[in-house]
Amino acid sequence: MLKRYPSIQSMQAFLQAARAGSFSSAARQLSLTHSAISQQIRTLEDFVGQPLFVREGARVVLTDAGALFANQLADGFEQIDRALSFVKERAVKQSITLDVDPELAQSWLVARLPALLDGLTGTSLTLLSAPRHDRSAFERVDLALRYGYGEWDGFENALICGDRLTVVGSPELLKARGLDAPLTPEQVFGLPLLGYTKRSWIPWLDAAGLPPAEPEAIAVFDNAAGLIAAASAGVGAGLACGLLAADARRDGRLIELTKVEIPTHYNLYAVWPQDKAARVAPLVDAIRELVARTVSPADRP
């Protein structure tokens, strides 16, 4: 149910009378009659249920309730003025709310925000990172970047890129053991290994021709960005997809340890409500272009 409020005119009349200490003076400054000012203030007093002024000779003086109301009301009008100044006679940018998978935000997106914003002239972004299992987030945002299998019933989606999984580690990890890349799969398993709760080593073992038995890991991560950071720090070797590890590889913090790679099936998708297709199309195109530049063969070390 909507609340009813006194008119803006009556509250302006009250504030002017409070400042001037006179209904007549307030009437002159607002180009109204004395009776009009009096009527507006009576209406306001009826609304709040108590007198706001008392007469002292030729002047009017605020009651305690009137003084409290005047102080609060002045602050309220300042906020209204501020809100109006934000939008009056200026072009308001279109804003898009983008929900980003936390792993993608940490490992890839933040470094590319300047390029992304440069390509979205006149548009501002609000960035969120809803939990991966929170499907209701799709209804609260314009666009989501999520890893998955492309199954989001009731929403439109587009594959941003397929990817590949490789074993990565830091140059320091190999140097400390007197090794040079590329390693054989057997040599990889002589290194300390990193695990990821959402990924098994077994498909990679199959591709490498090794027995499909999950190896023991010295540390297991529930966030791929954390695994990549640990591998970059020389903690161990781990499986990482090309997009998330691209910057660490380009900077020399990580290298591919073997030639064995496998395609990913859990890939990056853009997901959006069906009525937002036209709104998010330029952003989807810009993201797809940045991703393509990141994982293109020419950009690989």
Tens-binned pLDDT, residue by residue, of the chain (301 aa):
567 888 889 999 999 999 999 999 999 999 999 999 999 999 999 999 999 999 888 889 999 999 999 999 988 888 888 888 877 766 656 789 999 998 999 999 999 999 998 878 778 888 998 876 677 778 889 999 999 888 888 899 999 999 999 999 999 999 999 999 999 999 999 999 999 998 999 999 999 999 999 999 999 999 999 999 999 999 999 999 999 999 999 999 999 999 999 999 889 999 999 899 999 999 999 999 999 999 765 444 4
Where residue 81 sits, what CATH number does that domain have? 1.10.10.10
Tell me whether residue 1 is in a domain: no
pLDDT at 296: 66
Q: In terms of domains, do 107 and 244 share one?
A: no
Instruction: Single out the residue in 87, 108, 128 at which a domain terminates.
Output: 87
Buried b vs exposed e over 80-104: b needs ≥16 C-beta within 10 Å? Answer: eeeeeeeeeeeeeeeebbbbbbebb
Contact (Cβ atoms closer than 8 angstroms) between residue 142 and residue 278: no
User: H helices within 105-201, ranges in order?
Assistant: 110-118, 171-176, 185-188
Q: In terms of domains, do 245 and 212 share one?
A: yes
Q: In terms of domains, do 81 and 54 share one?
A: yes
Instruction: Report yes or no on whether pTM surpasses 0.75.
Output: no
How many domains, in total, are found in the chain? 3
Where residue 214 sits, what CATH number does that domain have? 3.40.190.10
